Chains A and B, each alone.
Chain A
Amino acid sequence: MPDEVRRAFVWMVGSLASVRLLLASEYWSRTLYQIAIPVEDPLFPQVLRDPLVLLLAALGPLSVELIGMWRPTVSKMRMAAAVEIVSGAVLLIHQASFYKATWVVIFWCGWFLAWLAWTAVRKPDLIRPCGPLLAQAIVAYFFLGGAVGKWTAGYWSGEVFQDILFRQHPGMVYQYLRTTFSESTLWQMAVIYSRTIVLVETAMVGIVFVPARVASVLIGLVSLGLWGSSSTLYEIAFPLIGLAAAAWFLSDSPRIG
């Protein structure tokens, strides 16, 4: 297996494993609530309200991720890819987790791992031309989804983020801002913050057209910025950093043909 593929895989799986580790106690708690206060609703079939399905899908892949990272082989890579895709798919449609964007990201990262485990291993001539492009295309896709929904007056005026973050968010940074600054200053911050997010997300759709190494650095920087804006956004930032690292390593693959 080419070294760059192994490195890309380790970074990618490592980023997903770190997200799962950090989410472990939250999903344990969600499972307990699913047991203690079950909710019957018109949309979800019984199996997708099941607490054990939730727990297995959320935390089961950890073992495969950690084993896969240790001296990866092709079979470990394929197992990890399959497990990430299934886990992401289940959690995207489970009652207790469907509304978490984390699983959209992990689902598609699972497919990227599948590309590494099958295509990159069997067809090394496609690693350099297609690997970084696929990573960049996935990142551009995430930002397209995020940007389009924010092309509204409410986001441009700052009203939505003012309420969700500056008024409600329990994070330390926002608590500090609420106790330190006046309401009018917080509004101004919300406007600047909101417009920055809309513009950056819209611009990031173009990342698919940028050379791989430049794209890799930009994705890394934007991901760190996302994480800095809210500590809980590690769920999105870490996998993006994994994709950025993969694009970097794969762009170094020798040209074949």
Chain B
Amino acid sequence: MRNQAEHNTFIFNNEIDRDLLFSLYEDDFPYIEEIFSITLSQIKPDISQLLTAFEAGNTQELRRATHKLKPSFGFVGLPAMQEQCRQFESECSVATSVDSLTPSFRKLVAGLDASVILLESEYQKLKEFNQP
């Protein structure tokens, strides 16, 4: 088991808002690892739902899927991604078709893909760090 001082040496990727994570979980790294694990297992199917809604041209489903994804990123220290989801959700609320949403949607999906890669990497690092 690592001691407190060793725990404090864990370095998150610069993209992750470390202060936000610490405000939520303090330095409970095993719990942060659990949160990352739960988030990764949930956002992948949620992103699939988002893609399906876009393919189907269903703006309301697209808004709902974005709404569900949005807070997940806050819980893993990615408030900028959460904000991007919020903006896209707002756009969906007033959109009459997915056509007008396409540029924002592509930008959102790129952000989501990058976030998943980042979270997977941080999760692996946390797993190694928390190993006895």
* Bound pair (A, B): no
Q: Which residues of B contact A (CB under 8 A)?
A: none
